[in-house]
Amino acid sequence: MFVKYSLKTASKGLQTNRSRSLLTILGIVIGITAIMLVISLGRGAQDLILNQIQSIGSKTIVVVPGRHPTGISDSLSTFTDSIKNKDVEDLKKKSNVPHLTRIMPIVFGPVVATKGNKINQTTVFGVNNFFAEIYNIYPEDGRLFMDEEVVSKSAVVIIGSKVKDELFEPGEVALGQKIRVKNQTLRIVGVLPNKGQFSFISFDNSLIMPYTTAQQYIFGIKYFNRLVIETDTEANIAATVADIETTLRNNHNITDPDKDDFFVETQAQAMEMVSTITNALTLFLAAVAAISLVVGGVGIMNIMLVSVTERTREIGLRKAVGATNRSILTQFLLESVMLTSIGGVVGIVLGTGLSFVISLILSKFVGLDWAFSFPIMAVFLGLGVSGAVGLVFGIYPARQAARKSPMEALRYE
């Protein structure tokens, strides 16, 4: 009965000053909305990247030159020349890596493609035909390049949809025509469909060519930026990783694993790393957004103190007719918690709606395979945090109201 009466009294107190109540909860609404947005979009980004990594295949292993990065400075070490053609040839030998089924050397880098007076800033990916299966992308016009073209370093190229739009007139057939990259003339043998962004790769604005051609004529290098290796079964991934490391260490005369000039990643490791990074980033951004909740809490404390001062005669009258310090304390504390809880509910609804709209825009207009994520834990977090803010920042004003003397309160003008 006491709780029911206290809730009714607190509700009437808030309705008396509706405009002030609405402005008071604005800070809470903004804070909870920001937290919902960050957590929902963070989960969506994580799911997008993990799904794309998973789609590459659970039997896929990636070999990267340089030390395994532990910071920004180490990230630069991945652009080294430690992986070369001899490494590829030795890895192909069954005596060295018995469970290897396919290997794809990769070289990549930014270039400028031209056709006539038209110019397009794009990226070259030098690969073999394994790329089409890994990334599930095949030319909608034309064909993939043949193994013979890889061996002979043929000047052939498959272009992305955006490259076609930039270099050719609308309706113009690109297949069979020639473009120039770094003074090298390349014949177009395929045009990719509109794929959108795939993790960190935009195939729409890419030139795909034999890695031998890219090495010889585009970049003038004799090393690889990545190796992608497929094993025969998932059960043999660990053994294959060990064989790869042994082969490369023998080739590079490395006896101490801590001095490796390469590192090997499985899809499971890549997914774990992505999850760790995205979770940490999401928590950091959520913590930053939560600062606005503290600001909102201070605002609520300020407004509640003003309310206590304005309602001094009301407090004195209630005490004169028998209200206890406990009932006064409970009333003002409930008013504070109700304000923040309402702000929490509004923030959750608003944050969810904005997250859905942003996810829809990213999916429909940006071309990302982005799925809307509704984090139920964020809902409970939002309600819990908003209620806690109201409780913590409402205690002091409520105690001030409860301590007022009824005689002094009744004489207050």
- 95 lies in the same domain as 237: yes
- 243 lies in the same domain as 284: no
pLDDT tens string 69-100: 655 444 444 457 789 999 999 999 999 999 99
- 75 lies in the same domain as 20: no
Q: What span, in angstroms and rounded, lies between the C-alpha atoms of 407 and 404? A: 9
Check residue 109 and give its pLDDT. Answer: 92
Count how many domains the chain has.
Answer: 2
Alpha helices in 57-146 (DSSP H): 72-75, 85-92, 130-135
- 294 lies in the same domain as 151: no
Low-confidence ranges of the chain (pLDDT < 70): 1-21, 23, 48-58, 68-79, 196-200, 267-277, 285-286, 288-290, 292-293, 295-296, 300, 302-325, 332, 366-369, 390-391, 393-413
- 260 lies in the same domain as 331: no
- 228 lies in the same domain as 306: no
- 175 lies in the same domain as 65: yes
Of the residues 198, 231, 265, the one at which a domain ends: 265
- 43 lies in the same domain as 66: no
Of the residues 244, 265, 286, the one at which a domain ends: 265
Check residue 274 and give its pLDDT. Answer: 61
Check residue 398 and give its pLDDT. Answer: 61
Of the residues 265, 300, 315, the one at which a domain ends: 265
Check residue 246 and give its pLDDT. Answer: 93
- 101 lies in the same domain as 249: yes
Full residue range of the structural domain in which residue 75 is found:
57-265
- 102 lies in the same domain as 220: yes
Check residue 6 and give its pLDDT. Answer: 47
Check residue 91 and give its pLDDT. Answer: 93
Check residue 406 and give its pLDDT. Answer: 57
- 166 lies in the same domain as 32: no
- 89 lies in the same domain as 42: no
3-state secondary structure of 320: helix
* Residue 206 burial by Cβ neighbours in a 10 Å radius (0-12, 13-18, 19+): buried
Check residue 93 and give its pLDDT. Answer: 92
